[in-house]
């Protein structure tokens, strides 16, 4: 297997691989995007401050700084190869009491973003239990997926998941953040780009089916049943946007089927970059997304 991330390996050869502990502090991490919208889901309880990433030859390292608590869900979608789902289907694997199908099914990403892999993570309100599930999102549905593990935790603990495709991921968490974005319509607690704790994931590139080209990430904090979108959305929402709810207008519908990110200004996804060497820092932004659009 040969892919762009492999080219960056030379630049990482001397760097020590850090622990997957929810502290996004390893020097290889690059800030991909940071948020500027106060959370509608509870300051320092459920917020996204930034997306950090780097790759080595086999693994994507991803940091989502902030917090996810009260059994709200951090829902992540990887567009890691050709095909996939621009609108989430309702015949995917049974994940989280089938809510991937019954509640997330129908959500539509920006044109050209076709999700191939779903990973979700949740923490309870007492911040001492956590769980993760994942599924492959095949173009025609029916991919593998299900519960991937969890249980009691303290900050710094990991879940080592086998992964629906058998290549696996390791997820570490640290829910101690008190900085970054504030409550909705309030000033930030601190610069969101400087928050260093949250959810850290090391996931096999084979697990997400990445074989080269753009590697993109969408995601958000969602309600406890994957049924009510917050305003904490990767890629960002326009200033002043409140929780999207189930219909995109803040209303609870019991599903998020009414969400269509084409109706929201800007890209509700990010391109994960490969770090040094500098010539590889950008994976060719702009225009490519449209060229890859498949219907």
**CB 15, min distance to Ca ion, A:** 29
Nearest-approach distance from CB 92 to Ca ion, in angstroms: 14
- Window contacting Ca ion (CB under 5 A); options: 9-17, 105-113, 217-225, 285-293: 105-113
266: left (phi over 0), alpha (psi -120 to 50) or beta: left
Query: In the set 23, 34, 35, 44, which binds Ca ion (CB under 5 A)?
Result: 44
Closest to Ca ion by CB, 279 vs 295, is 295
Chain position whose Cβ is nearest to Ca ion = 84
Residue 116 near residue 135, CB atoms below 8 Å: no
**Contact of 100 with 145, CB cutoff 8 Å:** yes
Determine the Cα–Cα distance for residues 146 and 101; give it in Å rounded to an integer: 12
The residues in 61-80 that bind Ca ion, with binding defined as CB under 5 A, are 79
Strands, E assignment, the chain: 30-34, 46-55, 59-68, 73-79, 117-123, 129-136, 145-152, 158-161, 169-173, 198-204, 216-222, 229-233, 270-271
Q: Quick one: 150 or 219, whose CB is closer to Ca ion?
A: 219
The nearest distance, CB 200 to Ca ion, in angstroms, is 18
Is residue 102 helix, strand or coil? helix
Does residue 116 interact with Ca ion by CB under 5 A?
Answer: yes
Nearer to Ca ion, 28 or 116 (CB): 116
- Residue 213, sorted as left (phi over 0), alpha (psi -120 to 50) or beta, turns out to be left
Stretch that binds Ca ion, among 42-50, 134-142, 156-164, 165-173 (CB under 5 A): 42-50
Does position 41 interact with Ca ion (CB under 5 A)? The reply is no
83: how many CB neighbours lie within 10 A of its CB? 14
Using rule CB under 5 A, residue 114 touches Ca ion: yes
Q: Is 289 left (phi over 0), alpha (psi -120 to 50) or beta?
A: alpha
- Residue 261 interacting with Ca ion (CB under 5 A): yes
Nearest distance from residue 295's CB to Ca ion, in Å? 13
Q: Is 200 among the residues that bind Ca ion (CB under 5 A)? A: no
Closest separation between CB of residue 85 and Ca ion, Å?
8
Report the residue from 256, 264, 271, 274 that binds Ca ion according to the rule CB under 5 A.
Answer: 264
Q: Please report how close the Cβ of residue 276 comes to Ca ion at its closest, in angstroms.
A: 26
Determine how many CB atoms are found less than 10 A away from the CB of residue 187: 9
Minimum CB separation from Ca ion for residue 246, in Å?
Answer: 18
Task: Give least dist CB 156 to Ca ion, A.
Answer: 20
Q: How far apart are CA 279 and CA 268, in angstroms?
A: 26
Q: What is the dihedral sign for C-alpha 141, 236, 264, 245?
A: positive
- Whether a cis peptide bond, with omega within 30° of 0, leads into 277 is yes
User: Does 180 interact with Ca ion (rule: CB under 5 A)?
Assistant: yes
* 3-state DSSP assignment of residue 4: helix
Q: Which residue from 56, 110, 138, 227 is in contact with Ca ion, where contact means CB under 5 A? A: 110
Q: Which is nearer to Ca ion, 41 or 261 (CB)?
A: 261
The verdict on 138 binding Ca ion (CB under 5 A) reads no
How many residues touch Ca ion under the rule CB under 5 A: the total is 12
State the residues that interact with Ca ion by CB under 5 A.
43-44, 79, 84, 110, 114, 116, 180, 189, 261, 264, 268
């Amino acid at each position: 297997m040969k892919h762009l991330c492999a080219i960056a390996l030379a630049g990482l050869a001397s760097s020590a691989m850090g622990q997957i502990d929810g502290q996004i502090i390893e020097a290889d991490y690059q800030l991909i995007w940071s948020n500027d919208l106060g959370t509608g889901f509870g300051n320092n309880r459920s917020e996204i401050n930034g997306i950090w990433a780097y790759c080595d030859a086999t693994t994507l390292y991803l940091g989502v700084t902030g917090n996810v608590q009260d059994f709200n869900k951090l829902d992540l979608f990887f567009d890691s190869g050709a095909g996939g789902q621009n609108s989430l289907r309702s015949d995917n694997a049974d994940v989280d009491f089938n809510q991937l199908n019954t509640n997330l099914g129908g959500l539509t990403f920006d044109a050209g973003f076709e999700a191939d892999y779903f990973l979700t993570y949740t923490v309870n309100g007492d911040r001492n239990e956590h769980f993760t599930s994942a599924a492959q999102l095949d173009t025609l549905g029916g991919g593998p997926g299900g519960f991937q593990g969890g249980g009691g935790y303290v900050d710094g603990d990991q879940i080592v998941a086998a992964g629906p495709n058998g290549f696996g991921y390791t997820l570490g968490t640290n829910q101690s953040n008190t900085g970054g974005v504030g409550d909705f319509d309030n000033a930030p607690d601190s610069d969101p780009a400087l928050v260093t704790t949250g959810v850290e994931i090391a996931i096999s590139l084979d697990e997400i089916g990445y074989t080269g080209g753009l590697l993109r990430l969408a995601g958000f904090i969602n309600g406890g049943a994957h049924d009510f979108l917050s305003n904490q959305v990767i890629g960002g929402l326009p200033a002043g946007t409140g929780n999207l709810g189930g219909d995109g207008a803040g209303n609870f519908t019991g599903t998020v089927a009414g969400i269509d990110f084409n109706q929201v200004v800007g890209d509700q996804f990010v391109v994960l970059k490969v770090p040094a060497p500098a010539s590889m820092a950008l994976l060719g932004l702009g225009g490519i997304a449209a060229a890859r659009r498949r219907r």
